[in-house]
Amino acid sequence: MKKFKLFSVILLLAATAISCNKKNEGPADTGFLHGAFITNEGAFNQNNGSISYIDLDSSYIVNNIFQAINGYGPGDIVQSFGVAGNKGLIVVNHSAKVEVVDLQDFISLGTITGADYPRYILGLSDTKAYLTDGAFQGYVYVLDLTNLSIVNQITVGKGPENMVQDQNMVYVANSGGWDYDQTISVINTETDQLINTITVGDNPTDLVVDMNHDIWVLCKGKVVYDQNWTVTEETDSRLEKISRTGQSVEHSWVIGQTGDSFNPIRLAINGDGTILYYVEHDGIYRMLISDNAAPQTPFIHRSFYGLDIDPSTGIIYALDAKGFTGQGTLFRYYPDGTLADSVDVGIAPNGVFFN
Query: In the 3-class helix/strand/coil scheme, how is 222-267 assigned residue by residue?
Result: CEEECCCCCEEEECCEEEEEEECCCCEEEEEEEEECCCCCCCCCCE
pLDDT at 281: 86
Q: Which residues contact 140 (CB under 8 A, 6 or more apart)?
A: 130, 131, 132, 133, 153, 154, 156, 160, 163, 170, 172, 185, 187
pLDDT at 9: 59
Task: Summarize pLDDT for 222-266 with one digit per residue, the tens.
Answer: 988 888 888 888 899 999 999 988 889 999 999 987 777 677 889
pLDDT at 25: 46
**pLDDT at residue 196 is higher than 80:** yes
pLDDT at 26: 46
**pLDDT at residue 14 is higher than 50:** no
Q: pTM for this structure?
A: 0.93
> How far is it between the farthest Cα atoms of the chain?
62
Task: Summarize pLDDT for 292-341 with one digit per residue, the tens.
Answer: 999 999 999 999 999 999 999 999 999 999 888 889 999 999 999 999 99
Residue 10 — pLDDT band, cuts 50, 70, 90?
low
**pLDDT at residue 185 is higher than 80:** yes
Task: Summarize pLDDT for 39-88 with one digit per residue, the tens.
Answer: 999 999 999 999 999 999 988 999 999 999 999 999 999 999 999 999 99
**pLDDT at residue 275 is higher than 90:** yes
Please give the average per-residue pLDDT across 4-8, as a whole number. Answer: 70
**pLDDT at residue 28 is higher than 60:** no
Identity of residue 36: A
pLDDT at 229: 84
Share of the chain above pLDDT 90, in %: 80
Strand partners, 268: 277
The answer to whether residues 225 and 231 touch, using CB atoms and an 8 Å cutoff, is yes
User: From CA 334, how far away is CA 164, in angstroms rounded?
Assistant: 25
pLDDT at 165: 98
